[in-house]
Structure 1
Amino acid sequence: MKTCHNKASLKLATGTLLPIILLIFFVTFQTLCYAQMNGNISGKIVDPGGAPIEYISVGLLYEDGKILKGVLSDSTGKFSFSAIPDGKYLVKISGVSYHPLTTEILVISIENRKLDLGLLKLKEDSKLLNAVVISAQKKLIEQTIDKTIINVENSILSEGNTALELLEKAPGVKVGEDGQISLKGRSGVLVMINGKSTYLSPKELSTLLKGTNSSSISKIEIMNNPSAKYDAAGNGGIINIQMKKNMKTGLNGSVSLNGGASRNARYGSALDLNYRNNKVNIYGSYDYGYRGETEYLDFVRRFYDSGNSGSIPNRTSYQDTETDEPLHTNNFRVGLDYDLDSSNTIGFLINGNVGKYTHDSKTGNRLIAADGTMISHMATTNYDQQSWKNLTYNVNYLHKFKKEGRTFSADADFASNSFTSNLNLKTTTLQSTDGQAGATTSRRGYVPAITDVYLAKVDYTDPLSKTIKLESGLKSSVIQSDNNLRYDILNNGNWEYDNNGSNHFKYKEQIHAGYININKDFKGFSVQAGLRGEYTKTQGHQITTDSLLTRSYFQLFPSIFINKPIGANHQIQAAYSRRIERPDYGDLNPFRVFRDPLLFYQGNPFLKPELINTFQLSHSFKGKYTTAINYNQTTDVITWLSGQIDSLNTTFESPQNLSRLINYGISFTASTTFFNWWNGTHFANVFRNEYKGNVQNNTFNNNTTSFSFNSQNSFKAGKGYTMELSGFYYSGSVYGISTYKGSYAISTGVQKTILQDKGNIKLMVNDIFQSDRYREQTKYQNIDMYTNKRPDSRRIMLSISYRFGNQNQDNKDRRTGSEDIQNRVKGGG
């Protein structure tokens, strides 16, 4: 029995903190200088029932009625005007279905630079309500100071796609060949669904996202630098996928169908129903999707008896693989919210994702000697039937105090996740020379992975004054995973248990956390400071070898954000946060998973968590153009590295801790309106990654400067027609000891509203030139390999959707307070 106990403590790099301390000091100094030059007017807009009205126009006018500036209220009905010079003003609010509201004259002066107008209640215009129903559509991409929001349900190009394919189009996001997700060149992104961590291994998360249809997604939120309120996991930031939830009153719903083809057929359907009255909201949705896909892989490996890849290879392996990957998915959601009274709400929710996936590949592998003669020729079939079932049960409670904005919420969740893999691997050695006899080896595997997640969480929010807001909370999660891998080998017509390949691994993890956030508005600037503490205890039990690995550690994760408006059009933010990326169960489990007899993957039970300190300075101009400079340093960075056994012509991959990764760069986001009929959002990012570490007892540095660009454009063509054009480009990049080539893709689509604007038809073509591919080069010591993967990315899809029932919007909202359960369920397949 082996036991390892490790306690980690807070480590901050002094050398990297000094520049940011000076930067924050500079920004704060500038803030104090400008403080007396800025006025502020804010308020909250509500309907006759007191519910907030979101995204309604608010104008700031001079005393004579001329417009100074305008904004939209946010999702809570709040609005704010900053950097207002001394003078007399009016605030005018106008929106469809409401009578316009204009305030009395407001005075900004040295004695009164901050005006809070409180609740501004609008009256409904019954004539407009009865005459016509007009729906406002949000922009495809919205850029705020702390996040990028992609309104998926507004996009033509989202039709017929999966959640993983949608992420490929998101600004700054890159999806690797095996589903690894990076953000601005940083890996270790925490993916959340409805604000809940999935606790899945990267491969299981990739499968889940492939099984989540775009028709059920409302929006995607991208947070590069989250606050202490969120889980500290996710060194690359957080991506939150928000599913649709109908908030309209009465009985209503929608139905949609889609179909098309890539190299194979794709089709799907979705149904959404909702009933809401003054007390009860009952909602449910279901969608089904089938995605046929065929991809091609070329893999070249060179082997050196000298152990040095700089010499002439003694043998070269040429491998080509064709894989069919049909995927069937079923997603459903059933919920009930009940208002006990005006202050208390209780809710119940069940989320489900059930599906099956088949990996059916045929591989040819030719091993050629240096003189050109064939050493061996193998043909391998890999047939892997996978199925999964993810069920999450939630009960939630919300209490609203009499004091405006003070709330308490509590959640309890149980998530049951099961993945099963039935693998059949058959390799036939073909006759490569005269007189050589062929041979066949067969291996089968059964890989059940069961993960249960228990979570409890409470949150408290209190606006202590007009300028100070307190947020705090506690959260505990317990994860239990069981993976019992069994391999059998066919010997003389009989299946025999493989002692060397089989493995039984159990993993337990507890994380107990608490956080506090303080938001303070000063004259002319605002500060948010937070601190999160997390205690982690893990236990990995290798039952097969009877070894036990335990770890426990407590970490503090501070964060600070300083926002400073300068003049009427400029805003600066400085931010710092500390985060952690824990190794998941798939990384820790040392069992082997074979792609073919000469290639396998193996976990590492001795991995340590990686820690990151991230700094960002951003500038926003007119709310449309944002420039951000970021610097991030990660220690003990977890990276999958390749190894090679030349004598056996075998390659393997295993996760290792490298010394550090330094990532820094500059990004630019622009929201443009070239004409009234042309809106666009464009993102450009230049970054540098520098990996440093020790591999096979040798230090190495692998670094490069990379560039990415993403553009989303929407065109109004009249008569109900809308068109979209999007594209992205990624230059070469590095990961660990590997280098990746660049890629790009261009997609387009058109939409037509029908049936009195209650329905629409969409046609889209994704990756028109089929240029999105993954090309990887690894050359280090005796490792010399090249991979070229051509996914099934070009596809054409046609969809039709229809909304029925009452379509009047009710702004009353209730989401579960535990919106951060389920990214690391530690699976192993």
Structure 2
Amino acid sequence: MNYRVPTLIFISLISCSYLLRAQEFSIQGKVLSSERETIWLANVLLLSPLDTLLINGSSSDEKGMFKITNVPPGKYLLKASYLENESDYLEIDVASDSDIGEISISNYAQTLDEVIVSTQKPRIERKVDRLVFNIGNTALSDSDIWEALKRAPGVVVINNQLSVNGNKDIGIMINGRKVNLPRTDVINLLSGTSASNVESIEVITNPPSKYSAEDGMLININMKKNLISGYNGAIFNRYTQGVYPKHTLGTDHYFKGKKASLSLNYSFNREKWLTRYTDITNFIEEGVVTSTWKADENYIRRRKRHNFNAFFDYVFDDRNALSVSTLNQWNPKVSRLYDTETRISDPDGADVSSFITLNDSEENQINTSLYLDFVHKFKKKGAELSLNTHYTYYDYERDQDLNTEFFDVDGTVSDQDDFLTNSIQNINLFSIQGDFVTPMGTTSKLETGIRFAGIHSKSFIEQSGFDRDQAGIDPTGSAEFDYDESIFAGYGSFDTKWDKWNFKAGLRGEYTSTIGSLDIDNAIKKNDYFKVFPSLSLQYTPNKNHDFHYYYYRRITRPRYNSLNPFQIFQSFNSVIEGNPELLPSSRHYMAGGYTLNRAYTFEAFYKNRMNNYQLLVFQDNENEILRFISSNVDKDIAYGFNFSISKNLTSFWHFYFMASTSYIESRFTDLDSGQLVKNGLWNTYIRSNSGFSFLTDKSLKADISILYSSPVILGNSRQDDYFKFGLALRKTIFNKNGSISLGIDDVFNEASLFTTRKYLNQNNTSYYRPESRLLVVGFRYNFGNTKIRSNEKSKNVDERGRI
């Protein structure tokens, strides 16, 4: 038998192992107290100099000696801790085996039942179906959650519209619970809540089947789970100056006992915003422009807002736990003033006439949600049954006075119109869901569940004084619109790991029944349908330097209740926003596959196909000379392209994130006037970059620089020109890290404006949107309470905490 080949292989393996190990070194030393006493079982941590990420660690022996092995060459921070005391950070440069000598910890003579060591996680982590963005101890901590969300990986926000990889069907969750609020109210909730209590933001690119098929992607905001007993709290103040000031004042409170914990958050916001619009419409008759209407509008919104949130958890025993949560928002007064001057000119550009519209409206709104969750863990490890229910009540009322004066070419008043409306909308949402999870072997689990959701929406409008011809509901009458929806759902999913693979697959079925009725025409519209929604996620990680992933899902988007409401909201005499009770649900397929190198560089290709997408499309009514913003179905949307991203520590104090996405986007829709199918398409590129910096020896000064750019893009029947935004945020901890101050400038160069065009068939109009986007933001936060007291209970193995 020839032993030479196996012997050579064995020698080669030993040689390779030696060469690899030759690039790793050891660090040793001794831990002493300030009284020169040796400390036994002190934790010695080797940390990243950028974000204090834990890299390696060890414990001291009874002589205080420690040794950390397998350390690659480079610069690190070293810190020793015992009970509640820590040493100063020690900067070391490892190029060979090192003996650092003595490291000193101040007075350690305390008596506690446990030692808990908290370390910061990587800023971005990739999991089989999501990206996790850890924002703790960054410059974003003093901002609100909405501002922090804009920096999350893959997330792009333009004109307060969220998108992830070009997908705008985004659901928001807090601690795994879906926030069932309209989009504008979700923004209000997140912009009124401090980000200091956020542990991480999860961008779930392929949500598990347990979640509703309504959202293509989910963003889960994980609040910090505090293991501290007793009471602690904080106050925060955030001032924003644009054209007008905006001010938020709030407080957080946290109570924890042996079995119960309670978190309370309240904020009050008072703000005034200015937005400028310019709409130019070339009205057409038989293919020829007959007149051009140029409308310049200044829109001022004043608002007072109260946010109150509460989270209560009670642990009965090791197997049963109850959670009660409530999210509440009250806008006691929202004032809107639209001041619009419209000039009408003939085809040669000569002025013909003009009119000025003052639209003065006031509204109030209450939005309250209640969540109840119960979890029972079975004796079989990993098996559990959870039940949760949810109720939301939404009440909205708006009074509007729209007054228009008409002028001849010489400026003489020729006519006047005064239009009054009162609109009310009430929405009640209820859902209940049960989920069962059981492990299958040591690396797999099966999950199944059922859900019911019921929705009732009632809308009422009363109008008087309007005098003109137009399509839609008679603007001088009153009407009531009722809409009811019931959804029955069931799902099953399977999750497993083997060797270097992660696999997750699920199938969800949903039966939906809707009924809508408008009292003025005695018409009842019913729609019943059943659809299935498969999902699949696959991840292969041969080693820590290489990661491959693929995912696919099918989802549905049902029309929003205010989009189904057929009533009209006038912004000026010839500009109106309309709902559409004929809207159809939209379904879409999405798939993507990619590769990540060294946990830092990711390339991903994707494809999206969507039917009946509904959007607020802009159509000009050439006969009645009206600009209509109407909710409509887009016949088909397709998009395909690729994404590239980098998430990497470039230096010891600089973390860099960069994402570029290039895709072909095509939209096919039916023209409202002619009924013809129109197709628009182009290639789009958007770029997002964030740089996080840490300064000073104790890393107490943080900075974040953000850049967002989008080339022209197709949105329904509109083409939107390129977009650019640059922001800067600074944060400095003070008062022994119990307080912090922050300073930021959003849209430094004041470039975040949107210009859109619609030119096809008999449509020829443009819109120029100029929000109040360059903002100076100043924040202060101070934490108080007995934050140094620890629970006597042993800590659990949870994601937010690590123990060595």
Residues 375-429 of structure 1 deviation map (CA, whole Å, 9 limit, x = unaligned) = 2211111122222211112222121223322222111222111122221211111
Residues 354-393 of structure 1 deviation map (CA, whole Å, 9 limit, x = unaligned) = 1243221211100111133322211111122222211112
Query: Within the alignment, does 1:536 sit opposite 2:517 as a pair?
Result: no
Distance 1:284 1:206 in 2: 20
Aligned residues of 1:610 and 1:634 also touching (Cα < 8 A): yes
Distance 1:612 1:426 in 2: 43
Distance 2:191 2:702 in 1: 27
**1:148 aligned partner:** 131
Aligned residues of 1:426 and 1:443 also touching (Cα < 8 A): yes
**2:334 aligned partner:** 357
What amino acid is the match of 1:591?
F
**1:701 aligned partner:** 679
Distance 1:98 1:462 in 2: 37
Query: Within the alignment, does 1:723 sit opposite 2:700 as a pair?
Result: no
Aligned residues of 1:152 and 1:158 also touching (Cα < 8 A): yes
**Residue number among 533, 541, 545 corresponding to 1:565 in the alignment:** 541
RMSD (CA atoms): 3.2
**2:15 aligned partner:** none
Distance 2:148 2:729 in 1: 14
**Residue number among 282, 290, 293 corresponding to 2:270 in the alignment:** 290
**1:583 aligned partner:** 559
Distance 1:194 1:567 in 2: 31
**Residue number among 274, 277, 280 corresponding to 2:257 in the alignment:** 277
What amino acid is the match of 2:356?
A
User: 3-state SS of the aligned residue for 1:326?
Assistant: strand
Query: Within the alignment, does 1:67 sit opposite 2:41 as a pair?
Result: no
Structure (1 or 2) with the larger CA radius of gyration: 2
Distance 2:197 2:502 in 1: 37
**2:171 aligned partner:** 190
Distance 2:252 2:188 in 1: 24
Q: Which runs of 5+ in 2 are unaligned?
A: 1-51, 59-66, 74-78, 85-106, 468-472, 800-804
Residues 207-252 of structure 1 deviation map (CA, whole Å, 9 limit, x = unaligned) = 55565565676543322322212211124x2233445665532211
**Residue number among 363, 366, 384 corresponding to 1:407 in the alignment:** 384
What amino acid is the match of 2:341?
G
Aligned residues of 1:738 and 1:777 also touching (Cα < 8 A): yes
Query: Within the alignment, does 1:232 sit opposite 2:213 as a pair?
Result: yes
**2:591 aligned partner:** 615
**1:790 aligned partner:** 770
* 1:24-35 to 2 correspondences below 5 Å: none
Q: 1:410 to 1:812 in 2, by over 3 A?
A: farther
User: 3-state SS of the aligned residue for 2:208?
Assistant: coil
Distance 1:592 1:598 in 2: 12
Higher relative contact order (CA 8 A, sep 6+): 1
Distance 2:127 2:454 in 1: 34
Aligned residues of 2:144 and 2:190 also touching (Cα < 8 A): no
Distance 2:82 2:522 in 1: 69
Alpha-carbon offset, residue 742 of structure 1:
1.0
Distance 2:109 2:603 in 1: 45
What amino acid is the match of 2:480?
H
Q: 1:328 to 1:647 in 2, by over 3 A?
A: same
Query: Within the alignment, does 1:424 sit opposite 2:404 as a pair?
Result: no
* 1:467-478 to 2 correspondences below 5 Å: 467-478=443-454
User: 3-state SS of the aligned residue for 2:285?
Assistant: coil
**1:14 aligned partner:** none
Distance 1:553 1:422 in 2: 37
Aligned residues of 1:157 and 1:764 also touching (Cα < 8 A): no
User: 3-state SS of the aligned residue for 1:340?
Assistant: strand
* 1:91-106 to 2 correspondences below 5 Å: none
Alpha-carbon offset, residue 802 of structure 1:
1.3
Alpha-carbon offset, residue 636 of structure 1:
2.0
Residues 251-293 of structure 1 deviation map (CA, whole Å, 9 limit, x = unaligned) = 1111111223111112212211111121121221111122221
Distance 1:153 1:287 in 2: 21
Q: 1:692 to 1:454 in 2, by over 3 A?
A: same
Query: Within the alignment, does 1:389 sit opposite 2:366 as a pair?
Result: yes
Query: Within the alignment, does 1:320 sit opposite 2:300 as a pair?
Result: no
Residues 116-137 of structure 1 deviation map (CA, whole Å, 9 limit, x = unaligned) = xxxxxxxxx9769989998644
**Residue number among 134, 150, 155 corresponding to 1:173 in the alignment:** 155
Distance 2:773 2:548 in 1: 39
What amino acid is the match of 1:588?
L
User: 3-state SS of the aligned residue for 1:798?
Assistant: strand
User: 3-state SS of the aligned residue for 1:697?
Assistant: coil
**1:21 aligned partner:** none
What amino acid is the match of 2:215?
G
**1:104 aligned partner:** none
Q: 1:764 to 1:437 in 2, by over 3 A?
A: closer
**1:599 aligned partner:** 575
Distance 1:176 1:602 in 2: 23
Alpha-carbon offset, residue 585 of structure 1:
1.9
User: 3-state SS of the aligned residue for 2:207?
Assistant: coil
User: 3-state SS of the aligned residue for 1:587?
Assistant: helix
Aligned residues of 1:172 and 1:708 also touching (Cα < 8 A): no
Q: 1:384 to 1:207 in 2, by over 3 A?
A: farther
Q: Which runs of 5+ in 1 are unaligned?
A: 1-54, 71-93, 100-124, 492-496, 816-829
**2:740 aligned partner:** 760
Query: Within the alignment, does 1:712 sit opposite 2:695 as a pair?
Result: no
Distance 1:214 1:57 in 2: 23
Alpha-carbon offset, residue 598 of structure 1:
0.6
What amino acid is the match of 2:376?
H
Alpha-carbon offset, residue 183 of structure 1:
2.6
**1:371 aligned partner:** 348
Alpha-carbon offset, residue 97 of structure 1:
5.5
Q: 1:154 to 1:480 in 2, by over 3 A?
A: farther
**1:514 aligned partner:** 490
Aligned residues of 2:173 and 2:179 also touching (Cα < 8 A): yes
**Residue number among 441, 464, 467 corresponding to 1:465 in the alignment:** 441
Query: Within the alignment, does 1:267 sit opposite 2:243 as a pair?
Result: no
**1:769 aligned partner:** 749
Alpha-carbon offset, residue 175 of structure 1:
3.9
Q: 1:375 to 1:149 in 2, by over 3 A?
A: farther
After alignment, is 237-246 or 353-362 more displaced? 237-246
Aligned residues of 1:581 and 1:611 also touching (Cα < 8 A): yes
**2:455 aligned partner:** 479
Aligned residues of 2:613 and 2:634 also touching (Cα < 8 A): yes
Q: 1:395 to 1:438 in 2, by over 3 A?
A: same
Distance 1:198 1:233 in 2: 13
**1:89 aligned partner:** none
Residues 673-717 of structure 1 deviation map (CA, whole Å, 9 limit, x = unaligned) = 111111122221112211123323222211111111111112122
What amino acid is the match of 1:223?
I
Q: 1:442 to 1:679 in 2, by over 3 A?
A: same
Distance 2:466 2:542 in 1: 73
Aligned residues of 2:254 and 2:264 also touching (Cα < 8 A): yes
Alpha-carbon offset, residue 524 of structure 1:
3.1
Q: 1:360 to 1:212 in 2, by over 3 A?
A: farther
User: 3-state SS of the aligned residue for 2:530?
Assistant: strand
Q: 1:329 to 1:183 in 2, by over 3 A?
A: same
